[in-house]
Amino acid sequence: MTLRLFFLLTALAIGSTARAQMERTMYQVFEVDSVKSVTLDLADIYNIYTWGGSSILIETNVKISFASPEILDYLIKEGRYAVAMDTLAPDAVKIYTKNRDRKPIKTPLGECTEIPEAKIFVPDSFIWTDDKKTLTRKPE
């Protein structure tokens, strides 16, 4: 009887850890020294904060359920949550999500649930529009 109980508890423990939620945080920095305007085109949920730095720091936190740590590591390595910056004009840039086509993640346990959220730390010399899509440098 105790052997059966042991195997039952072991199976329950393995099953609960396989369905556990994991999370990882990634950081990307973008230099905006001479930039006067930044357009944001991000696929994830994000909030904007001011800070005393001179660059834009994007902290992306990904929570994923029903997947192994190796799956999450692979998705990060493949750039699923990567952000890039392109120059639009000499004093304007666009910061965007590189991989906008995020197909559902399927495993033998079913479809994974993923929640990527970002915090964008912007130099205190910038202001942003109400829709949080355009940042402009404050007039001097």
Number of domains the chain is built from: 1
**pLDDT tens-digit map of 20-50:** 789 999 999 999 999 999 999 999 899 999 9
Q: What is the mean pLDDT of the chain?
A: 87
**pLDDT tens-digit map of 50-73:** 999 999 999 999 999 988 899 999
- Burial of residue 120 (number of CB atoms within 10 Å: 0-12, 13-18, 19+): buried
User: Which residue intervals of 24-100 are DSSP H helices?
Assistant: 69-77
What does the alpha-carbon distance between residue 98 and residue 123 come to, in Å, rounded to a whole number?
23
Instruction: Identify whether 37 is part of a domain.
Output: yes
What is the number of other CB atoms lying within 10 angstroms of the CB of residue 135? 24
Average pLDDT over residues 88-97: 96
CA atoms within 13 A on the CB side of 9: 6
Instruction: Identify whether 68 is part of a domain.
Output: yes
β pairing state of 21-31 and 83-89: unpaired
Instruction: Identify whether 9 is part of a domain.
Output: no
Q: Domain limits at 98?
A: 21-137
* Model pLDDT, residue 100: 85
Instruction: Identify whether 15 is part of a domain.
Output: no
